[in-house]
Structure 1
Amino acid sequence: MNIISSRLPFLPLSLILFLSLLSPSPVAGGERCHPYDKKVLLKIKEDLGNPYHFASWDPKTDCCDWYVAKCDETTNRITTLNVITADFAGQIPASVGDLTYLKTLIFHKVAKLTGNIPSSVTKLTHLTFLEVSWTNVSGAVPAFLSQLKNLTYLDLSFNNFSGSIPESLGELKNLEALHLDRNKLTGTIPESFGKFPKAPALYLSHNQLTGTLPESFAKLDFETIDLSRNKLEGDASFLFGKNKTVQVIDLSRNAFQFDFSKVKGFSDSLTLLDLNHNKIAGALPAALTKIENLQLFNVSYNRLCGEIPQGGELQRFNKYAYLHNKCLCGPPLPAC
């Protein structure tokens, strides 16, 4: 027996604890991560070819401490898989669907990610946030995503998705934001998108969508609606209204055609209104002068006519916001 241990019974408790810190301690028993989730994560790593991005995924360590994975502090189940800016090739593994407690799944800026979204994600019934963006994932937007009833955020932007938008996405009643922009989507905007209980922020820009807007959009109050750079046509005037609370409307570079002068009111919250490169006729409504927080405004390349209303924010924008119309005049354009 050494000197310290022989005298322990006579030492104060605080000193005993201090001395114990100086001695080698045994490995802490048990890790936080659930063994099933750990097994699934290792399968995901294997399915992706064991890329360096997942180098910290060591079977000998606690998977709650692994890079891009996050455990719930109470249940210790994996709830987040957040893969951002990774340089590995492959497809989203079907094994992702076995992380059944996932709430957030993100693949963002993984340029060599190809294939499509596996149907196994429908097993992720707790999922609220799904993002697959800035990748080379392609094929049709999966209709089975409508089975993820708890989704509040769906972002499939900046990919190579093609074909039409599934009607079934309109069944996602809890959506707060839907990003399908910057793909190669064709066809019309689904009629079901006009039946959301609460309109999500809707981003459909930079596709090849055709046809008219669903008439049911008139009943919705979007916070943001970006339909720019498509081939949409017809009347879009019902997106405006004094009773709306919309903040961003971007309809630029389409073929919308309606009489703008018939619009009698605008949302007080409107900060961006971009209508450039359409076939919109009539005069600019005087109600535009009552919008107090307009930060961006562009009606160039249309068929508008008459004097630009005086007051409000309209004269703050330069001539390029008004150029190439049939006969618009008045500041900041030449006098009528």
Structure 2
Amino acid sequence: MLFKLPHQMGKSLLWVVILLIAVNAWGSSGCLEEERIALLQVKAHMKYYALGKSLTSWANDTKSDCCKWYMVTCNNTTKRVTNLELSWIVDRNGGGWYINASVFLPFKQLITLDLIGNQLAGVVENGGFDKLSKLHNLEMIDLSYNQLNRSILSSLSHLSSLKNLTLDSNPLNSPPNSSGHETLSRLSNLELLRITTIHMEDTNVLSVLNLKDFINLKMLVIDHNNYQSFGPFNDINALSSLEVLDLSQNFIEGFETSISLTGVSGRITNNSHLQLRLNSIFCNMTKLLQALAAFQAVKSLELQGNNITTIDEIHALKNLSNLEDLFLGSYFLPNTFLHKDFLQSIGPMNSLKVLSVRLVSFL
């Protein structure tokens, strides 16, 4: 016997059935089949290098949901891969290897690509990271602790969507060519850049980085290198957005001259959140401290580990009227820093909230 349902109730039941079918379809399929196959291709590309336990969950099984695989994150709605955290999966005894970045192209919504510590020595021919420029959602790449040389910089310069790039602990030691194509440039959306503990032959920071292109850069960390100067500072308008500048553990003799002669301080200090980290930079501290007086809006200043030997050297810091955090710990601070004249020498800093003077030895 057939029953005729009221028109409105019939429409409601129809939508319920459609919704149940859709929910069931999403729930049963898991990740997209094309991306499951692509992940297996990534695994195959790395099969001679990957540690045995790292990718065991990446099984060639149509019933296996790749969104639940180790080191894979998917969008909850689209089920597309958004994050690949493929760090430390390469056997360190296997030697350097060359990647084909094109294997990541099927992941149309990829946001983060982490390849830390994988013994990468470079890319195969026609398989550079510039291929990933087609991934318009790609915001973060971490290539730290690999064996990449300077040629990787021009390849990465094509990734205009990048906001976060980390190249820590790569040698980057090939000499620059005459064309200048082996510098990092054009990344106008970049907000964070880390290139620390490397062995580049350059003595000039700006021969490595074309900072005038990085108009949205907020954090620049290039500590533990051998740079001896920062510039010439010509057309460095990108620094107006800078919030953190870390030049620690360098040999920057010319930094104090650069910032005093070119008016760079005026560009940087438009941002009242600026932190300057100048720990152990092995330069002329008297000149540096005098030059820092121009950074009126600096909020946090770190100078630990520098050769500050007299109270008079830091007298100029009293002009930093917006300074909230001041760190002066040093291996060379004299015991006169314990005297009341020390506080008088830096003058009234009404905005100062934290003052750290860490005495390691007494002279």
TM-score (norm 1): 0.71
Match for residue 215 of structure 2 among 180, 186, 197: 197
Whether 2:228 is the aligned partner of 1:210: answer: yes
Q: Which amino acid aligns with 1:273?
A: E
Query: How far apart in 2 are the matches of 1:228 and 1:271?
Result: 14
Q: Percent identity?
A: 21
Q: Which moved more, 1:228-237 or 1:172-181?
A: 228-237
Q: State how 1:1-336 maps to structure 2 within 5 Å.
A: 31-49=29-47, 51-60=52-61, 61-86=64-89, 88-89=91-92, 91=97, 93-94=99-100, 96-101=103-108, 102-108=110-116, 110=117, 113-116=119-122, 119-125=127-133, 126=135, 127-133=138-144, 135-140=145-150, 142=152, 143-163=154-174, 168-187=183-202, 188-190=204-206, 192-216=210-234, 219=237, 220-221=239-240, 222-236=242-256, 237-238=259-260, 240=265, 243-257=270-284, 258=287, 260-261=289-290, 263-268=292-297, 270-274=299-303, 276-277=305-306, 284-288=315-319, 290-298=321-329, 308-312=345-349, 313=352, 316-318=355-357, 320=359
In structure 2, relative to structure 1, the CA distance for the partners of 1:321 and 1:199 (3 Å cut) is farther
Query: How far apart in 2 are the matches of 1:208 and 1:152?
Result: 26
Specify the SS of the correspondent of 2:70: coil
Q: Which has the higher helix share?
A: 2
Query: How far apart in 1 are the matches of 2:223 and 2:27?
Result: 53
Query: How far apart in 1 are the matches of 2:37 and 2:45?
Result: 12
Specify the SS of the correspondent of 2:161: coil
Q: Deviations over 1:226-278 (max 9, x none)?
A: 12222332143456456442432123333544363355444545223227547
Query: How far apart in 2 are the matches of 1:212 and 1:54?
Result: 43
Q: Rg: which structure is higher?
A: 1
- CA deviation after TM superposition for structure 1 residue 181, in Å: 0.6
Q: Which moved more, 1:271-280 or 1:116-125?
A: 271-280
Query: How far apart in 2 are the matches of 1:218 and 1:106?
Result: 30
Q: Which amino acid aligns with 1:107?
A: L
Specify the SS of the correspondent of 2:315: coil
- Asked whether the equivalents of residues 265 and 287 of structure 1 are also in contact (C-alpha less than 8 Å), the reply is no
In structure 2, relative to structure 1, the CA distance for the partners of 1:40 and 1:259 (3 Å cut) is closer
Q: Deviations over 1:289-331 (max 9, x none)?
A: 63452152357769xxx9732343599433749988xxxxxxx
Structure 2 gap segments, 5+ residues each: 1-24, 334-340
| Aligned-CA RMSD value | 3.8
- Asked whether the equivalents of residues 97 and 121 of structure 1 are also in contact (C-alpha less than 8 Å), the reply is no
- CA deviation after TM superposition for structure 1 residue 100, in Å: 4.1
In structure 2, relative to structure 1, the CA distance for the partners of 1:46 and 1:77 (3 Å cut) is same
Query: How far apart in 1 are the matches of 2:87 and 2:40?
Result: 18
Query: How far apart in 1 are the matches of 2:121 and 2:129?
Result: 14
- Asked whether the equivalents of residues 252 and 278 of structure 1 are also in contact (C-alpha less than 8 Å), the reply is no
Query: How far apart in 2 are the matches of 1:179 and 1:207?
Result: 12
Q: Which has the higher strand share?
A: 1
- CA deviation after TM superposition for structure 1 residue 64, in Å: 2.0
Structure 1 gap segments, 5+ residues each: 1-26, 325-336
Query: How far apart in 2 are the matches of 1:205 and 1:261?
Result: 22
- Asked whether the equivalents of residues 162 and 189 of structure 2 are also in contact (C-alpha less than 8 Å), the reply is yes
- CA deviation after TM superposition for structure 1 residue 120, in Å: 3.5
Query: How far apart in 2 are the matches of 1:157 and 1:190?
Result: 17
Identify the residue that residue 18 of structure 1 maps to in structure 2.
none
Specify the SS of the correspondent of 1:210: coil
- CA deviation after TM superposition for structure 1 residue 71, in Å: 2.4
Specify the SS of the correspondent of 2:86: strand
In structure 2, relative to structure 1, the CA distance for the partners of 1:208 and 1:315 (3 Å cut) is closer
In structure 2, relative to structure 1, the CA distance for the partners of 1:84 and 1:309 (3 Å cut) is same
Specify the SS of the correspondent of 2:328: strand
